[in-house]
Every structure is written in C-alpha cells, then in structure tokens.
C-alpha cells in the first residue's frame, strides 16, 4: 500500500513544478537526488520560522543597544 505522502510526492514530481525544481522522479536531466516535494516544503518552512525568530529576537536587542550591536 502506497502512503499519501508518496502519492503526493510522485504527483508533484511528474508535474511542471517537479520538472522546474528538478525533483526526484521528475525525469529532468539534472534531477537532484532525494529532493522530494514535501521535504522541500518542510525545509522552506523551517528556514522561514528560523528567520522570523531571529528577526523577532534581534529587533528588541537593537532597541536596547540603540542600534549599536
């Protein structure tokens, strides 16, 4: 039995999006090994939230030091 995530990854890999981002299984000449749709989404969300955290922590610090970090 194939899981939902495998079906989703395969469906996106076979689409224009999969070929554009060279996802595994897309058939693109320069396919990136182990690059799956949901893996890339999780990586993007992790990066976004890490940067949001850094910005939210650095702004109050720069206010305390009057911008002289």
Q: In the chain, how many domains are there?
A: 1
pLDDT (0 to 100) of residue 67:
59
Are 9 and 25 within 8 A, CB to CB? yes
**Is 24 or 65 the better-scoring residue by pLDDT?**
24
- Which residue segment(s) compose the domain that 23 sits in? 4-64
The SS3 assignment for 35 reads coil
The owner of tokens 């939210």 is 56
Asked if residue 39 belongs to a domain, the reply is: yes
35-55 pLDDT, tens digit each = 999 999 999 999 999 999 998
The alpha-helical segments, DSSP class H, found in 1-69 are 4-13, 16-20, 37-64
Flag whether 69 is in a domain.
no
- Torsion over CA: 18, 22, 24, 25 (sign): positive
């Amino acid at each position: 039995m194939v899981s939902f995530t495998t079906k989703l990854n395969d469906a996106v890999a076979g689409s224009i999006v999969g070929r554009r981002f060279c996802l595994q299984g897309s058939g693109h000449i320069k396919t990136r090994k182990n690059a799956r749709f949901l893996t890339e989404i999780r990586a993007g969300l992790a990066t976004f939230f890490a940067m949001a955290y850094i910005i939210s922590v650095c702004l109050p610090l720069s206010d305390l030091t009057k911008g002289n970090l």
